[in-house]
Structure 1
Amino acid sequence: MSAPGPAMPLAHLLTLDGVPRATLESLLDRAQSFAEGGDRRDCLAGTAVCTLFFEPSTRTRLSFQLAAQRLGADVLSFDASTSSTSKGETAIDTLHTIEAMGVRGFIVRHKLDGAVAELAARAGADTRVVNAGDGRSAHPTQGLLDMLTLRQAKGADFSRLKVLMVGDVKHSRVARSDLQALRALGVGELRVCGPSSLLPVDDGTLAGCRVLDDLDAALEGVDAVMMLRLQRERMDDGLVDSLDDYHRDYGLTAIRLRRAAPDAVVMHPGPINRGVEITDEVADGPQSLILRQVANGVAVRMAVLEALLG
């Protein structure tokens, strides 16, 4: 577990891997102030920000747009399906074209691992890039908003917590960012549960985790359950026998949830495959923080944009 160290300024936010605990906590503190109603509409006045999305998105795109607007930025929305990329323009040429219009901040989602880091490396010296999700690699602002949600529910001392992550870790950029953040913030115990076909092997993702394949056993006494979406668009056929079988073995039901601590909370990054990863009764129940995660996304993204561009 990482000990607190000095915060560091960010040129870009591409991953949470290696970001010091003090920097994470500083961003979370600032996000909490925004969540409580803080506003800085003068912060990015006159600054242009572009949501450069090469993959579909609802929560991330809209919350980044709202976050930028609440900081006073001029916001451009890029949709690859209606852009010159459909005519063969490269992502790097697209970035440079929009930079030439005076845009300083880019919020980028891409289907390929490492694509956002490559754009950041080719960007101008005054340009700031935020990774809004690339391939299976990273989704740092989702990791931050999940940490903010957990901290609001359980307090800032993560060393007391047992946290369980369930499902498709192998294909999930959210899982990687969440696990990196939880380790950096000193979580007491990390458990991971899922079928072996959906767990990464030998890439360091599960370092420090207790890995189980029995969900009932994994749930015993945990303080938080982080469910993951089956990333069917990123997986090969045959990794899951059937959705019914997956739900039987790894779906979170109200009965199963009773094995967790009485005040355990349930999280999910969305979109939810209801009746597969989680039942309606749990997703919409009193222990669910799913909509709070969505709300916190705006506050966290305000904190990130302020730190990079303010």
Structure 2
Amino acid sequence: MAIALTAGMRANLTSLQNTTSLMENTQKKLSSGKKVNTALDDPVNFFKAKDHNDRARDLSAKKDGMKEAIKTIEAANTGIESMYDMLDQMKSLASAAKTSDNTSDLKTQFDAIRGQVQNLAEDSKYGGKNLLGNDALQVEFDENGSNKLSVQGIDAKSQLGEIRTASTTKTIAAANFDTSGGMESAIVEIDSAVKTLRTEAQKLASSLSTISIREDFTNNMINTLNTGADQLTLADMNEEGANMLMLQTRQQLGTTSLSMSSQAAQAVLRLF
């Protein structure tokens, strides 16, 4: 059996129901901190914000790759710095042999240090990549991988102490200290190898600088995208708090008005 309501009661009830619905939406905004939680709230801003957030996540994944690339280059540079030290020791031994009567011991020391060149190169890897083992490194900067940087390593792993680049091969021969010419030849070879290493170190430094700049750019872009998404979806908590107070007041007034309408109907019944 349907219950008949007076026009005033029905109007008050409808207003009260609308107020309750608005309070639920406002409460959702206050609890989530967002004015746009689903596409139903605002389809344009919702999907724009989603695009921004999706791109920010993709760039964040690329940023991790940049961090790994930086560490790979730093590992290679650490190896080169240590190779400088070893080559300097070898040069000192070759120079000392010119005025020493005990060239046999100096030759043994020279060859022992020379043999460590390969070990240094092999130990300069990071994350499975070794830029002193002729590996290549490719770093992607954008979300679809179209913008990238390629870093070509060098081959410094030969048992004979060779240092090979794309265009040159610098070889440090085994110690030949029997003649002054052999000692001088060793010094020349070492100087040439050092020069090659310095050139490669400069290339690595340039690549490292480029990657670092792109990493900073990516960080700033991620912040920009996230901020843009927030501006499209975040709620003004002060405004929503004020809205809730206003709606609570309206709800109280609606409840009071509905009660008054009911009392009016009861007064009519008392006439009979």
Instruction: Normalising by structure 2, report the TM-score.
Output: 0.22
Of Structure 1 and Structure 2, the greater strand share is in: 1
Instruction: Normalising by structure 1, report the TM-score.
Output: 0.20
Of Structure 1 and Structure 2, the greater helix share is in: 2
Relative contact order, higher structure (CA 8 A, sep 6+): 2
